[in-house]
Amino acid sequence: MVKGPTVYDVAEQAGVSIATVSFAFTQPHRVKESTRNSVLNAARALGYVPSASARGLAKGRTGALGLFSFDYLNLLPEAGGDGATAGSEPDDDYRLFPIWVDEVQRGVELECFSRGYALMIGGGNKASSERAVTDIAGRVDGLIVFARTIPTEVSRRISGRVPVVELSDPSGDSRLHHVTIDNASGVRQLMEHLIGVHRFRRFMFVSIPNAETEARYNGFRTALSTHGLQVLQPLESRPGGSAVTAGLVADLLGSGSLPDCFVCANDQEALVVMETLKAAGVPVPGRVAVTGFDGIVAGRLARPSLTTIRQPMELIGRTAVEILADALTDTATAPAHRQLPVRLAVRESCGCSTEEN
């Protein structure tokens, strides 16, 4: 194999030191524009590409962060999941992409770009998650993990090597960094609008079992109790289980026991509920109102547009990167626990005539 050009070759051709060459690529603000252009021109002429691994060895850092994520499109039976239909294409169900996890990932990507970090993204099913995440953790300076993607003990073990930020539904381990949202405030805003403005009295909560959804249900239940309204048992679906949700709504249709309003744990469930009702000839919001939680793009495009609680999804990702950057600068810093606010997005599916994005 022919040896490629080195930093020494670039320095010689540009007439600068090797430190200046390094700064031109890694800290360009420290180099005069004319000098930086000379270095870049020399690098292009020689075909030089800086080695990230070599820089990492010199600094004891990789210059990369990791994101261990999940994808509803990977919840196929052959992948060990139980959500989507085997063999389906991404466009077969517009509710599956982009969802909140994709918007959070975009925030991570944008903040990494602005701070000069490379980003390694990975994921896996339940059987392979530990192996996959430890492989990523060995290649990065810090790791961001979505809730419920890996066991808590694995996150804890990795945090002994690199800082770890848990997103969304944290494990409760105070030794890890966390970024969460104010679920209780969001549901409280929603219920005050539905009860106070629309005078709804009979509600049904559509749930997907996890700790974050439980927090939303608790806020829902508290709001009803405060107003002296009956709390019905929630309808429990599962991630990506649109057929399950549709079946639950069909059962209510068959028994003639529809509520005034379906309050759904996320926008995907809300869209399934809305579609099932419309297919049965039940007007939304004329006969039944439907609301969601998250603020995904599909909810804005649906007709009627979906009233929901909007998470600051991009900000969640950016905040996670900010926390890692701070932790890498000050290794003695205490674990950061950030809770971000949410807001009510009043649209058409609750019965409002004006849309407020």
My answer on whether 156 and 209 are in the same domain is no
My answer on whether 98 and 156 are in the same domain is yes
My answer on whether 234 and 333 are in the same domain is no
My answer on whether 211 and 275 are in the same domain is yes
Largest CA distance in the chain: 83
Give tens-digit pLDDT for 112-150. 998 889 999 887 665 567 777 888 888 899 999 987 777
Whether 238 is covered by a domain: the verdict is yes
My answer on whether 173 and 69 are in the same domain is yes
Give tens-digit pLDDT for 276-328. 999 999 999 999 999 999 999 999 999 999 999 999 999 999 999 999 999 99
208 near 237, Cβ under 8 Å? yes
Whether 266 is covered by a domain: the verdict is yes
Gap between the Cα atoms of 74 and 82, Å rounded: 9
My answer on whether 163 and 92 are in the same domain is yes
My answer on whether 69 and 176 are in the same domain is yes
My answer on whether 176 and 189 are in the same domain is no
Whether 2 is covered by a domain: the verdict is no
My answer on whether 177 and 166 are in the same domain is yes
My answer on whether 112 and 82 are in the same domain is yes
What domain range includes position 151? 64-182+312-341
Whether 135 is covered by a domain: the verdict is yes
My answer on whether 88 and 173 are in the same domain is yes
Whether 55 is covered by a domain: the verdict is no
Whether 352 is covered by a domain: the verdict is no
Whether 208 is covered by a domain: the verdict is yes
Gap between the Cα atoms of 48 and 116, Å rounded: 20
109 confidence band (pLDDT: 50, 70, 90): very high
Whether 57 is covered by a domain: the verdict is no
Using the structure block, give the residue that is written with the tokens 């007439």: 15
My answer on whether 280 and 323 are in the same domain is no
The pLDDT assigned to 196 comes to: 96
CATH of residue 151: 3.40.50.2300
319 near 338, Cβ under 8 Å? yes
Q: Taking residues 338-352, what's their average pLDDT?
A: 95
Gap between the Cα atoms of 284 and 304, Å rounded: 7
Q: Rounded to two decimals, what is the model's pTM?
A: 0.78
Gap between the Cα atoms of 327 and 156, Å rounded: 16
DSSP-derived secondary structure letter, 227: T
CATH of residue 46: 1.10.260.40
The pLDDT assigned to 171 comes to: 64
Query: Structural domain tally of the chain?
Result: 3
